[in-house]
Structure formats: C-alpha cells, structure tokens
Structure 1
Amino acid sequence: MKTLAWVLLLAPWLAHAAGLGSLNVRSSLGQPLLAEVDLVSVSREEMGTLEVRLGSPEAYRRADLQYGAVLSGVRFSIEKRPNGAPYIRVTSLRAVNEPFVNLVIELTSSSGKFTREYTALIDPPGYTPPETVAAAPPAAVPRPAPPRSEPKAVVTPAPAPSGGKEYGPVKRGETLGKIAATVKPEGVSLEQMLVGLFRSNPDAFINNNMNLIRAGATLQVPDTGQLTAIPRAEAAKEIRVQTSDWNRYRRRVSDRPAKATEREESATKAERKVKVEDKSDKGARDVLRLSKGQPSGKKGRSIEDRVQALEEELIARERALNEANQRIRDLEKAVKEGSK
C-alpha cells in the first residue's frame, strides 16, 4: 500500500467533528489519479451533511502551491468500505504524468469546515514499496559436538550496489521527476531519488532549484546505499521547500510580460526614429555592434545561467498558457453540457 509521505494541516482540529485522515494512492504514473482519503470522527448525523471539494485556485495561491491542469478534472465521492468505514474516493479525468500532485481538500459538514493539504506521490507502474519484516528471535539450538577438522568453505559476499552510474545528457523538456522515476532502484522512494539526484548534481540546476534542470547536463546517479541513507521525512520536506520556491519563481515570471512589452515598445519606437533620421548614403553602410567582451570563468557561467533561465521561463509560460487554454476548453464544454 502506497501511503502519503507527509501532509500539512491548514485548519485547526475541530473537536468531535468530521476530519480528513491519511491519503493512499492506488494509481501509477501515466494513469488517471485514483486515491482514497480516510474520513475520521464522522458521526451518523454528519454523514448526511458531508460535502467534499477541491480547494479553489485562490486557496492554492495562499498555500503557495501550483494549481495544475490535471486538477480541473479531479472528482470526489464519499464511499464506504466493507466494514462500514467511510472514505473519500479521489479520481481524475486526465492521466497524471508528474511524480507528485498537490491536493487541497475541503470537507464541509454540519459541524464546520475542515481543510487539509496533501502531496500525493505517484510511483511508476510496477513499483512495489519494500516491506519491513521483523526478525524472528533466535531459536535455542543444542550445542553440537566439536567438528572434525575440515576445510572451511569460502563465502563470497553479495556485491554491493554499483555506484558511478550516469544519466544524460538531459533532453530539453525533461523534468527531474520523470528522470527520477526512470532511474530509481528497487527499495528507494521517489522522494529519496529526487533529493539524491538533486544533491549529487548541484551544477545541473539553475538557481539551485530541482525544477530548473539544465538541458544537456549529465547527472551522476547515487547508489542505493546513498539514497536509502536519506531520511524519507527529510526528503519530503526538501521537496516541499523546492516546490514553494518554484511556485514563487513562476509568479515572478508571469508578472514580467507587461514590463517586457513596455520595453519592446520603447525599443521599437527608438528603432523607428533611427530609421527615419538615417537618410544618408544608402550604399555602403557601416553597422555598429556593441557587445561586451567574451566573459570567462564564473562570469561566463552567469551569462549561460541567464540564457538557460530565460529558456526555462519561456517553457514555464508556454505550459501555463496551455493549462489556461485547457481550463477554458473545459469550462466551455461544461457550459455546453449544462445548457442541454
């Protein structure tokens, strides 16, 4: 059973009121989302008044989370298990291709409103989390008689996990999540793999953020021992911080187009002015190009970082535009269906 690694409680606990418990993901990468959320402390009186919905885009902004396109098709229904325990069934219309999905779930009942934030970790198909087996106590064994002198058998230890593996070069458009799902060894969680790759390749990320991976970078893949040494709670916390930083970065990018348009208009006016005033000899023209000297060392790397960052900004803006267009199409479809 795949269990949510961490959750953040956004609203205070209401005494003797219905609440949201743990979330368990039943689907894999590339499939529509299927998950279950336990309902706790639900009285008979409350059962008939329960309503579940996804948090609004504004709620996501307040939580510093991204409201992805996949969320527009998320549906909730209240079901009962064979033993009568109630739970919330979470489904999506679209396939999920990212390793984690942020869910802000709002539960309303006659006792009040309860909100909880989850990060659903989506494992690749066929992944089975390792099970912890308790060691059995040693059984009492009679002491054997002294053995006769015989040659000792040579025991060859099992080979240790091989390190030094590489992945790359990273293709344009690839995400760290997809790479982690591809190279993750058995017995390692997706969070540990993400953080392990991030920590082992500090120069492969722009602005020290795992969401801004450099195209063309070659990644060093940590071995299983290094990955399992990362505490899962610590890995989940680091992913949370990285996601928060990434969402702030995206908002800064989305605020830039208006300013950029103003600069472009000013540049266009200046260019027109130059063209009007330049009515001299149209034969041989000298073109003056102003440029900075070729930088070297860290300075050159800084310019390369800015170029890469601009490319990533364009990709982020394109994705945001596609998500907005998809939401518009979904709304238009819903309006048409509602008018029938």
Structure 2
Amino acid sequence: MTRHLLPAARPSAARPALPSNGWRLSILGAAAALTLGLASADASAFALGPLRVQSALGEPLRAEIDVTEMAANEAEGLKINIATAEAFKNAGIPYNAALGDVKATLQRRAGGQYVVRLAGNRPLNDPFIDLLLEANGASGRIVRDYTVLLDPPATRQAAAAPVTPIAPQIATPVE
C-alpha cells in the first residue's frame, strides 16, 4: 500500500513566498490595536486604589480609597456611594445593615490627589465586612468590591503608640 502525501506535507526545496502585502496586514493590525487601546483609555478614565481603614472594631467606619486615575472633567459630575442592598444581593455579597448610613465623598487633598472618604455613624462589630462601592460619572459606571478588615481597638492603639527610646543609664562605681 502506497501512501500519498498531501500537497502541504510534500517536502519541497523552495517554500512558497509570503504574499507581498503580508507586512501591510501586520502594520494595519498594529495600527488597529493601537487605536483601540487609545480609545479604551477614555473608557477607563476613573480607577480606584486599595482601601485604607482608619477605624477599629466597635467604631463607626472611617476609611479612605485613593483615586488612582481620573479624567480632568470627571470630578464635577462623579457620584460615589455604597451600593444598595439589592446590588449586594445580585453580586452574591452579604449586606451588613451598618453600611446603610456610610457616606462616600470625593475630596481633593492639598497636593491635588483625589481620595474617596468613607464615614459612618453606626459601630461595626464584625471583624470583616464586604463593601460594594459604586461610582457613576461621565466615563460610565464602576462597581468595586472591598473587604474591610477591622482590628480590635487595643491592637490598633498599641500599633499607633509611638515608641520612645530610653537612654541607657550608666552606673558609676561607688568608692
């Protein structure tokens, strides 16, 4: 039985040359990717960084989130808030009723950097709480999930207490 090789599998001394417009297609593809990349930069004109908790267990929530990216005109119309209980349910995240009074405000620091400040009135008694934050602005809607970790007050105070070095005392021998 003889096996016949398919045309693509036949060994040949000379491979067929690529079409002369092959390099044009790759340049066109690179230009399209660059254009799409630049267009998507406007779509994500707002981004949030990590959450920094400033309160302890049993205290009302005080926290900050750095705004890592924001278009110049975005700050004026931006609305940031804690998501509704239904949004938590739809996301499969348990809703804590203590988050009901937490206010999220966009503030500008002296250096020009924006920050989202979270402040509540009800004490948080769970060591960790899932938080769903919504931001609506000119560039669209962003929903971000954070986990708030709360240390016990004694641990937080011990970490915040400054350590003062004690000068060594040298005893002089008595003669």
Q: TM-score, normalised by structure 1?
A: 0.33
Residue type at the aligned position of 2:49: G
What is the RMSD computed on CA atoms of the aligned residues? 2.0
SS in structure 1 opposite 2:70?
A: coil
Residue type at the aligned position of 2:114: P
Residue type at the aligned position of 2:121: L
In the alignment, which residue of structure 2 is the partner of 1:38? 66
Describe how 1:58-137 pairs up with structure 2 within 5 A. Answer: 58-128=86-156
Residue type at the aligned position of 1:103: L
Distance 2:44 2:152 in 1: 38
Larger proportion of helix:
1
Answer yes or no: is the 8 Å Cα contact 2:43–2:140 preserved in 1: no
14 and 125 in structure 1: CA distance in 2 versus 1, 3 angstrom threshold: farther
Describe how 1:226-305 pairs up with structure 2 within 5 A. Answer: none
Distance 1:33 1:127 in 2: 17
1:49 paired with 2:77, answer yes
SS in structure 1 opposite 2:77?
A: coil
Residue type at the aligned position of 1:94: R
Taking only the aligned residue pairs, the percentage that are identical comes to 35
Residue type at the aligned position of 2:74: E
SS in structure 1 opposite 2:110?
A: coil
Residue type at the aligned position of 2:95: Y
Distance 1:26 1:94 in 2: 15
Q: Which runs of 5+ in 1 are unaligned?
A: 1-12, 131-340
Answer yes or no: is the 8 Å Cα contact 1:39–1:88 preserved in 2: yes
Residue type at the aligned position of 2:148: A
Distance 2:66 2:125 in 1: 25
1:24 paired with 2:60, answer no
Distance 1:67 1:116 in 2: 14
Task: Provide Cα deviations, 1:102-148, integer angstroms capped at 9, x if missing partner.
Answer: 11000111011111001100111132598xxxxxxxxxxxxxxxxxx
How many pairs are equivalent? Answer: 118
Answer yes or no: is the 8 Å Cα contact 2:135–2:143 preserved in 1: yes
In the alignment, which residue of structure 1 is the partner of 2:34? none
Distance 1:93 1:63 in 2: 25
In the alignment, which residue of structure 2 is the partner of 1:222? none
124 and 114 in structure 1: CA distance in 2 versus 1, 3 angstrom threshold: same
Residue type at the aligned position of 2:71: S
SS in structure 2 opposite 1:126?
A: helix
Answer yes or no: is the 8 Å Cα contact 1:99–1:122 preserved in 2: yes
- Structure with bigger RCO (C-alpha 8 Å, 6+ apart): 2
Larger proportion of strand:
2
Q: Which runs of 5+ in 2 are unaligned?
A: 1-40, 160-175
Distance 1:28 1:92 in 2: 13
37 and 14 in structure 1: CA distance in 2 versus 1, 3 angstrom threshold: farther
Distance 1:101 1:82 in 2: 30
